[in-house]
Amino acid sequence: MRVEEAFAEMDMNAGDEPAAAFATVRATVVQASTVFYDTPATIEKAGRLIAEAAEQGAQLVVFPETFVGGFPRGTDFGVTIGGPAQAKGRKGKDVFCKYYASAITVPGPETSRLASFAAEHGVYVVMGAVERDGHTLYNAVLFFSPAGELLGKHRKLVPTGLERVIWACGDGSTLSLYDTPVGRLGALVCWENKMPLARTALYGKGLEVYCAPAADDSDLWLASMRHVAHEGGCFVLSANQFCLRKDYPPPPGYAFTGFDEEPSPDDVVCRGGSVIVSPSGEVLAGPKYDGEGLLTGDLDFSEIVHAKFDFDVVGHSSRPEVLTLVVKDQPQVPVTYASSASGKVLNKAS
């Protein structure tokens, strides 16, 4: 099989022959902080972490949610219900402008740089990023191959809580799965993983390696990841950032609103909790709460077959005559342009 064919995205159904069958794959989840408001420095930090993981034999490296662009922890962007358009609201928009400038286009020069790291070290990379599309931002996950290709992306379907102020909703067109020599890869982001139908949409394509970039450092998150692995009969790789207050710009350039008081520079504002879980729900690595670092585990794909013997959520354990799911996987666009027979766009400004 040609390399290009091996990396191609496929529209798969449960029951297809697994890509990795009974292979063992070494996977690494990265627990590290963004260099906030400095995307070039964050990209180079990612390159160093990919190199370190590759030195440990990793074939697949998964990064946290919005690692590129940053998770704006503690920021309210000046949003109040019924508040004035001036004063705090204006200041919040200025903060958003700085955050917008840290986002990346997909594809773009930053994705080319990340793809070069994947190629240099011969690994698959799954990267959380803030994607800029026009003047709208998305919480995205990017997939890169060892051939130096951007395979595709997933956009978070529903940003959580106040996240909706800064990130738009994705659609079903990026509920994608990638059939690779290291397994069938897919991703959902943080609390998007609490959406049963979104999980089922990926299970239905034959998901084997479930990537869950996150920003949730609670004890309950570990329980959720163990449940998802056991439910789906898949490996779960959840990567979160470990952040100190000093990993963000100091006040007044960056203020932690919503906290009882402004954290001191060495206070932990996200403790991590990255973890790798097997299809049986067994924790293979982590959770890690004590700083930045890499967690590595060997994924024995025969464990998927063992798990599916007991329960196959979209196979012999399903009841399609009772319960079915329809996934609308076409892009949802707000404006569609008609073209004349000559191919010129109608109403085009001269």
- Euclidean distance between CA atoms 224 and 157, whole angstroms: 18
User: Which pairs count as long-range contacts for 74-80, CB under 8 Å and 24+ apart, including other chains?
Assistant: 74/248, 74/255, 74/256, 74/257, 74/258, 74/259, 74/269, 75/99, 75/254, 75/255, 75/256, 75/257, 76/162, 76/257, 76/258, 77/162, 77/165, 77/166, 79/162, 79/165
**CATH superfamily to which 24-74+96-310 belongs:** Carbon-nitrogen hydrolase (3.60.110.10)
Reduce the DSSP state of residue 347 to 3 states and report it.
coil
Instruction: Mention every residue, 6+ apart, whose C-beta is less than 8 A from residue 2.
Output: none
Q: Which residue has the higher pLDDT, 291 or 12?
A: 291
What's the average model confidence in pLDDT over 22-33? 93
Q: List Cα–Cα distances, 194 to 119, 184, 197, 225, in angstroms.
A: 33, 21, 9, 10
Beta strands in 183-301 (DSSP E): 183-187, 209-211, 235-238, 242-244, 268-271, 274-277, 283-288, 293-300
Return the domain boundaries, the chain: 24-74+96-310
Active site residue 65: yes
Residue 88 among the catalytic residues: no
**Least confidently predicted of 88-102, 259-273, 292-306, 311-325:** 88-102
Specify whether 156 is catalytic: yes
CA distance 14 to 269: 40
Say which of 65, 110, 131, 208 is annotated catalytic.
65
Q: For the residues 10-30, what does the mean pLDDT come to?
A: 65
Model confidence at 13: pLDDT above 50:
no
Query: What integer is the mean pLDDT of 116-125?
Result: 98
Among 131, 163, 190, 303, the active-site one is 190
Q: Which two tokens stand for residue 184?
A: 């069938």
Reported pTM: 0.88
Query: What would the pLDDT profile of 172-182 be if each residue is shown by its tens digit?
Result: 999 999 999 99
Which of 45, 153, 156, 288 is labelled catalytic?
156
Whether pLDDT at 185 is above 70 = yes
Q: What is the rounded end-to-end Cα distance, in angstroms, of the chain? A: 49
Bridge partner list, 345: 339
